[in-house]
Amino acid sequence: MELVKNLIHENIDRYNHLDYYFRIIDSIEKNEISNPDISIESCKSLIEGISKFILQYLDEANDKNKIEKMDFPEVFKKSITELSNYKEIEPTLISRIGGFIKRLAEIRNARADISHGKLAPKDEESSARLSKLVKHTTEGLVFYLLDNFLSLDLSYKEDVKYEDNKIFNQVIDEENSMPSYLSYSKALFEQDNVAYIDRLDEYNLESEEAE
């Protein structure tokens, strides 16, 4: 899956957590022949993960927790919908890919070795030829999604850094008492980043008006 790996390498400075997907790609490649169903399951995980990655940057209405709860076809469809707001994507292609996504989810549910452990021997087992087909299709799809996303200029949506807002963090920590080993501001920042930024904007506005 050199196309995808090279694309990630080229953009690792912009989105350093993209390197997480290297381990999934490694699982796809290592198991393609010896464990086809693990390879196919890893393909599903890669598409789903990249879809979630794109969605968290393009859809501010959904925080990380909401995105994590979406099922595979839903998160893929939403990521394509959001991406199409920025890029012209062929509708027929989306429809065809949607069919592939649906079938891939069905295969994964029926034969997955990791997340859906099976009683041996399994009733169905995928062939290496099928895993090769799924791998190449997945590579083309993921490259298409990532390449379109990474070409966007999202500088106007640059991430707010937690450590740059020490006074604000202290203020909301004092307003929301928690055990000494926990930080309300840190928890809010990591678990509901949209709400954190909204409160930060309100705080900054009130501070400007008070001057």
**Per-residue pLDDT reduced to its tens digit, 170-209:** 999 888 887 777 888 888 887 777 788 888 888 888 887 7
pLDDT of residue 146: 93
pLDDT (tens digit per residue) in 183-194 = 888 888 877 777
pLDDT of residue 5: 96
Question: Exposed/middle/buried for 173, CB within 10 Å: 0-12, 13-18, 19+?
Answer: middle
Q: What is the pTM of this model?
A: 0.69
Q: How far is it, in rounded angstroms, from Cα 154 to Cα 46?
A: 23
pLDDT (tens digit per residue) in 154-172 = 765 556 778 888 999 999 9
Are the CB atoms for 168 and 178 separated by under 8 Å? no
* Percentage of residues of the chain with pLDDT beyond 90: 28
Structure tokens belonging to residue 6: 């090279």
pLDDT of residue 62: 66
